[in-house]
Amino acid sequence: DGGITQSPKYLFRKEGQNVTLSCEQNLNHDAMYWYRQDPGQGLRLIYYSQIVNDFQKGDIAEGYSVSREKKESFPLTVTSAQKNPTAFYLCATGERTDEQFFGPGTRLTVL
Amino acid sequence: KNQVEQSPQSLIILEGKNCTLQCNYTVSPFSNLRWYKQDTGRGPVSLTIMTFSENTKSNGRYTATLDADTKQSSLHITASQLSDSASYICVVSARYGNKLVFGAGTILRVKS
């Protein structure tokens, strides 16, 4: 986990509610990533950012939004448009795409 | 389509025994392959990384092999310990592009 923190560790969402997952890093990495992990599946990329004030959609961006106002922070908002948000969410950072360091994760559950 | 397939899906072994996990990939052009260990409810941690020219890499009791011709990799765990119980994920990076390709992982349980 190193210098990557994710909060909260557990999050519960009601139907129709937006929630924001926090990811902070002190590794001075330019690139940050958000992944979703579901049982029996590989990690899937939601969004990534290679520089402040810029971010790109990954493979499953629908129903999610991000911002990158500071190098250290890359929050992910799960909107009400995401119909099946229950999953384990992982934030990662790195200087290169092929070398990513992962945070401890946030488990989101829909009530 | 770039894919990474891992086998078996899950494995139970006795403490002290050895085991081997498999990873087959179709990612091209290949850049490197990593094995990650993910404890339950935690983020993945890198165990080894191998480039095209490397065919073996060790990290303590973990030894990874790579056959770039057949596009196969294995992770061998020697003298397993209870703390080895985790999910092991194979991740392949293509030479171009900004994404990694993740396998679904092998869930290993070591019992006493």
pLDDT at A2 over 70: no
pLDDT computed for residue B98 by the predictor:
67
Model pLDDT for residues A14-32, shown as the tens digit of each residue: 888 999 999 999 999 999 9
Mean pLDDT value of segment B10-25: 98
Q: CB distance from A100 to chain B under 8 Å? A: yes
Give the model's confidence band at A107: pLDDT under 50 very low, under 70 low, under 90 confident, else very high. very high
A62: left (phi over 0), alpha (psi -120 to 50) or beta: beta
- Chain position carrying tokens 């999610």: A64
Contacts of A5 (CB under 8 A, 6+ apart): A22, A23, A24, A25, A103, A104
Q: How far apart are CA B10 and CA A83, in angstroms?
A: 29
B44: left (phi over 0), alpha (psi -120 to 50) or beta: beta
A16: left (phi over 0), alpha (psi -120 to 50) or beta: left
Model pLDDT for residues A72-101, shown as the tens digit of each residue: 999 999 999 898 999 999 999 998 878 899
Cross-strand pairs, B11 = B108
More confident residue, B29 or B86: B86
Q: Sort out which chain B residues have CB atoms less than 8 A from A99's CB and list them.
A: 49
pLDDT at A48 over 80: yes
Residue among A40, A90, A98 minimizing CB distance to B32: A98
Q: CB distance from A3 to chain B under 8 Å? A: no
Q: CB distance from B4 to chain A under 8 Å? A: yes
Query: b/e per residue, A82-96, with b = 16+ CB within 10 A?
Result: beebebbbbbbbbee
